[in-house]
Amino acid sequence: MIRAVCFDLYNTLAYYQPPREEVHAKACHRFGIKVNPKALSESLPAADAFWRDENSRSSVDKRPTEEKIAVYAEYEIKALKGAGLEISSDTALGIIAAVQQIGLKLKIYDDALPTLKLLKGRGLTLGLISNVAQDIASICQDLGLQPYLDFWVTSFEVGCDKPHRGIFLAALSQAQVEPAEAIYVGDQYDLDVVGARGVNMKAVLLDRNDSFANIGDCPRILSLSQIMEYL
């Protein structure tokens, strides 16, 4: 019997508009750098992991100015290097400033709140498991998620990223359920499905763009509303 449903945040419940890779590509263009947004979409997660690792050692924003600037620069250097480009620290900082000027806005998917409301109406415990380097209470509140969530667990708080067992075990502890009583829904097979299965949670892959038809070893849904079929 399923007693708890947990979700990934980014690209599962919410998304950036415009997409991060497009904003970074536009910022690069201001410096005469042409980069394929698709290549950035594949390289940014590795840069994110670098940032989370640094932040877990000590809060980046609380470090001395020079050290903080160095981490910001290295983040963008890694993002561009993963996309096949080499840039200097000065250029990296300029691109970051341009990204901030263009702006990134997080929006909720149309099917997110209706699905959460239905699940909540069934008396299920609902949670969030996210690789993020910051407290997300304000994000959940701004997106309208807070009334439906019983808890959230982040790599910022736990000190390890998905697919590490620790972050999923922390969520199970918060939900107060056994692994077989919980479902985890996320959009990345390697992080979400593999991670949840690593602690014997049931895993459902959210494939909004129908990009993973080749994956057949786990339930795959195209919309969050389809999660009702797996309760």
Contacts 24+ apart (CB under 8 A), 138-141: 139/9, 139/14, 139/106
Q: Please give the pLDDT value at position 194.
A: 96
pLDDT class of 66 with cuts at 50, 70, 90: very high
Domain with CATH 1.10.150.720 in the chain: 19-103
Name the pLDDT band for 40 (thresholds 50, 70, 90).
Answer: very high
pLDDT in tens, 130-148: 998 788 999 999 999 999 9
The answer to whether residue 64 scores a pLDDT higher than 90 is yes
Across the chain, what does the average pLDDT equal? 94
Percent of the chain with pLDDT over 70: 100
Confidence at residue 67, expressed as pLDDT on a 0 to 100 scale: 94
Q: Binning pLDDT at 50, 70 and 90, where does residue 59 land?
A: confident
pLDDT over 80 (residue 96) = yes
What pTM was estimated for this model as a whole? 0.85
- Write out the residue limits of the CATH 3.40.50.1000 domain(s) in the chain: 4-15+107-230
How much of the chain is helix, strand and coil, in % rounded to 5? 50, 15, 35
Are 66 and 105 within 8 A, CB to CB?
Answer: no
Q: Where does 4-15+107-230 sit in CATH, by number? A: 3.40.50.1000
Assess if CATH 1.10.10.920 describes domain 19-103.
no
pLDDT at 60 over 90: no
* Four-CA torsion 58, 60, 61, 62, nearest 10 degrees: 30
pLDDT for 132 equals 87
Cβ–Cβ < 8 Å for 120, 145: no
